[in-house]
Copies of this chain bind each other. A is one copy, B any other.
Amino acid sequence: MRSMMGRKLGHFVDLTDRDEQLLAYMLRSQTLFVGAGQDMIREGTRPTFVKIVMEGWAARYKILENGRRQIVGFLLPGDLCIPQAIMTMRLDHSIAAIDDLHCAMVHPEQLDAIEQESINIRRALAMDAQISLAIQREWTVNLGARAAPERIGCLICELYLRLKAVGMTEGSGYFCPLTQIDLAEAAGVSTVHVNRVIKQMRRADLIQWREQFIEIPDPLRLAQACGFRPSYLQMPF
């Protein structure tokens, strides 16, 4: 039984059985539960544990003076929400549970010890951090240079691939707990507009979305329609 994190890291580096064991043991530590819609951690605080998503989705977000809320990233199972390096700093953003959320809480020293023992894990985590950065850059591109339909299409593609990397897709679809409101806050458009865009995409048979399940009839066609290129995830389609 591999962990989600093990699955993800396994795409970058060949993990030995021992590596997988180390990860699985680490993740079997104390878990944190956060109910849907609740904040997991607030801007301005100093985190004390490394935290890793085990089950459910979360969103990193910031709130502006004008009251607008911008989601700057989604956290899926296997994702590291709080890395060690940030522990001495004040957090510049908050994290909210979208779904009911289960996180592993790991002592920074324990993670250090594991990285000490396994070069593979150390490398894989470093690469994972670089990919997180690449994702954040891609979001910047998305918001800065694409129109609303492409933005939303690219987001849906990204989530598809990231979920596939941890084995959480079903055929060419996936369970998606996001509301149109969440999607609007991530895509930087109004909910009304998200609604209209989704409607168009349904009409064009690019996606089907009902009852928290997104089905992509033809992933390549969707990717082409919205200009999605997955190279930043270091994955093929």
Contact = CB atoms under 8 A, between A and B. Distances in A.
Chain A interface size band reads 35 or more
A141 B89 contact: no
Interface stretch (A2-10, A99-107, A132-140, A207-215): A132-140
Contacts of A232: 92-93
Interface stretch (A15-23, A61-69, A174-182): A61-69
Nearest to A126: B85
B93 A145 contact: no
B68 A145 contact: yes
Interface string A56-77: 0000101011101110110000
A188 B143 CA distance: 8
Number of copies: 2
Contact of A90 (B60, B62, B186, B231): B231
A144 B146 contact: no
Nearest to A147: B66
B136 A92 contact: no
A72 to B, nearest CB: 5
A130 interface: yes
Contact of A136 (B65, B133, B187): B133
A220 interface: no
A143 B70 CA distance: 10
A40 interface: no
Interface of A: 44, 60, 62, 64-66, 68-70, 72-73, 83-86, 88-90, 92-93, 123, 126-127, 129-130, 132-134, 136-141, 143-146, 186-188, 227, 231-232, 234
17 contacts: A62-B137, A62-B138, A68-B145, A69-B145, A72-B141, A73-B137, A73-B140, A85-B126, A85-B130, A92-B134, A92-B137, A93-B232, A129-B129, A136-B137, A140-B143, A144-B188, A145-B188
